[in-house]
């Protein structure tokens, strides 16, 4: 394995009733003012908002709210929230929601302690974070991004059509409360797309150097098998608590940095999808489902050994059934594509609503190439991948 330093300072409280059990005691460690952030309304429909605000009131906290955070959070909306937060001068930011709410809240927590241009210095460019952000706690209502256990945050600059993510360990939440029951009211479309995003996070790390046997890949293979099993179970019975609790923890395991240790990491597919959604605002998990099989067919021969392991160890393909490693590796990608179809996820850009009026060449030219890949692809090949996905 390659050299690495592992760090994760987020304390996780997981399971039924964990919010009511642990939030009151956690609040005692912070000052009087809590900046409560949440999404576009589901927390108010499913009762989570009422439960959390009642606990905050019982703890005697002054609560200032910033709701309506949308998926694919924008720089503009983050700055809007920042203005509210600056006036409140919070002692704690409490983010209740999924990855978009958590990401936007991380950016606000950083910007409250930084006087410069937060976008230019920390998103457009990878900055050096030599200050402590305002403390952040999260209550997860939608598992997908794993943002609850890392310092990563995605922001979209809509004026410049740039969607990018950065991971700063100091931006990790202090604590994460994860009650799988909070996820049971998610629409099935979100379950499918969000859980495929989990699978994508694991694959983006798995399909990178080293190709030789290593601990990180062993864990990743087990996680991929689990995500496939649990998503199938959740589609069969959306109220299956065991499946939904597994999915929630798989999301965290995919992005708490453990499987990334000693890995070069790819994330080219994420880069491509980020720019697609920066231009079209398509669903992130659905965009990944469209792109992954085509992208992997482009790079398969460059990481052949790993794609063979994927076919055998994740999709249970048997080597003796195929004439050579190329055919076996291709069977693994075919199995992934069949799984995407089985779930009812989109398989083409047109199914995402991206028609011929969208300038795919412009989007491809805006993509940057990721390090850590089996083979670096340029903007022309990205455009080719996009056109093959039409």
In tens, the pLDDT along 112-131 reads 999 999 999 999 999 999 99
The share of the chain scoring above pLDDT 90, in percent, equals 95
Beta bridge partners of 153: 166
pLDDT of residue 323: 98
pLDDT of residue 370: 79
159: number of Cβ within 10 Å: 9
How far is Cα 30 from Cα 7, in angstroms, rounded to an integer? Answer: 23
Map residue 88 onto helix, strand or coil. Answer: helix
Helices (H) and strands (E) in the chain, counts: 15, 8
pLDDT of residue 6: 87
pLDDT of residue 371: 82
Beta bridge partners of 64: 35
CA dihedral (267, 272, 275, 281) positive or negative: negative
Half-sphere exposure of 273 (CA within 13 A, CB side): 26
CATH of 188-388, one of 3.40.50.300, 3.30.300.180, 1.20.1090.10, 3.40.630.30: 1.20.1090.10
Beta bridge partners of 37: 66, 95
CA dihedral (178, 242, 46, 237) positive or negative: positive
Q: What are the residue ranges spanned by the domains of the chain?
A: 11-183, 188-388
CATH of 11-183, one of 3.40.50.720, 3.40.50.2000, 1.10.540.10, 3.40.50.1970: 3.40.50.1970
- Same fold yes or no, 11-183 and 188-388: no
Mean pLDDT of the chain: 96
Among 160, 255, 236, 222, CA closest to 192: 236
Listed range (57-66, 278-287, 350-359, 367-376) with the worst mean pLDDT:
367-376
- Tell whether omega for the bond before 382 is within 30 degrees of 0, i.e. cis: no
Contacts of 282 (CB under 8 A, 6+ apart): 276, 352, 353, 354
Helix ranges (DSSP H) in 258-372: 268-280, 284-299, 304-309, 325-343, 360-366
Map residue 3 onto helix, strand or coil. Answer: coil
Q: Do 283 and 371 touch, CB atoms closer than 8 A?
A: no
In tens, the pLDDT along 8-55 reads 999 999 999 999 999 999 999 999 999 999 999 889 999 999 999 999
């Amino acid at each position: 394995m390659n050299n690495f330093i592992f760090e994760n300072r987020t304390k996780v409280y997981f399971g039924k009733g964990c919010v009511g059990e642990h939030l009151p005691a956690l609040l005692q460690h912070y000052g009087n003012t809590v900046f409560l952030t949440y999404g576009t309304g589901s927390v108010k429909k499913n009762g989570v908002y009422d439960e959390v605000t009642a606990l905050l009131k019982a703890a005697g906290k002054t609560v200032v709210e910033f709701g309506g955070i949308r998926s694919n959070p924008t720089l503009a909306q983050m700055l809007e929230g920042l203005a509210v937060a600056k006036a409140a001068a919070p002692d704690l930011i409490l983010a209740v929601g999924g990855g978009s709410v958590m990401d936007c809240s991380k950016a606000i927590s950083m910007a409250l302690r930084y006087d410069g241009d937060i976008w230019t210095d920390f998103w457009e460019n990878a900055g050096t974070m030599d200050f402590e952000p305002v403390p952040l706690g999260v209550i997860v209502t939608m598992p997908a991004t794993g943002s609850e256990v890392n310092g990563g945050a995605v922001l979209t600059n809509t004026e410049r059509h740039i969607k990018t993510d950065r991971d700063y360990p100091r931006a990790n939440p202090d604590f994460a409360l994860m009650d799988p029951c909070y996820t049971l009211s998610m629409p099935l479309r979100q379950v499918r797309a969000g859980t495929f995003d989990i699978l994508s996070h694991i694959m983006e790390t798995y399909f990178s150097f080293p190709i030789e046997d290593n601990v990180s890949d062993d864990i990743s293979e087990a996680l991929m098998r689990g995500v496939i099993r649990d998503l199938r179970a959740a589609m069969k019975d959306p109220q299956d608590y065991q499946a939904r609790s597994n999915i929630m923890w798989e999301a965290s395991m995919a992005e708490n940095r453990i499987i990334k240790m000693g890995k070069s990491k790819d994330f080219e597919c994420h880069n491509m999808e980020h720019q697609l959604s920066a231009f079209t605002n398509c669903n992130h998990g659905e965009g990944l489902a469209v792109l992954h099989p085509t992208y992997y067919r482009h790079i398969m021969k460059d990481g052949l050994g790993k794609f063979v392991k994927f076919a055998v160890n994740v999709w249970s393909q048997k080597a003796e059934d195929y004439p050579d490693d190329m055919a076996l590796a291709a069977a693994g990608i075919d199995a992934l594509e069949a799984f995407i179809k089985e779930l009812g996820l989109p398989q083409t850009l047109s199914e995402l609503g991206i028609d011929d009026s969208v300038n795919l060449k412009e989007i491809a030219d805006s993509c940057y190439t990721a390090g850590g890949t089996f083979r670096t692809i340029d903007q022309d090949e990205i455009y080719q991948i996009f056109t093959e996905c039409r």
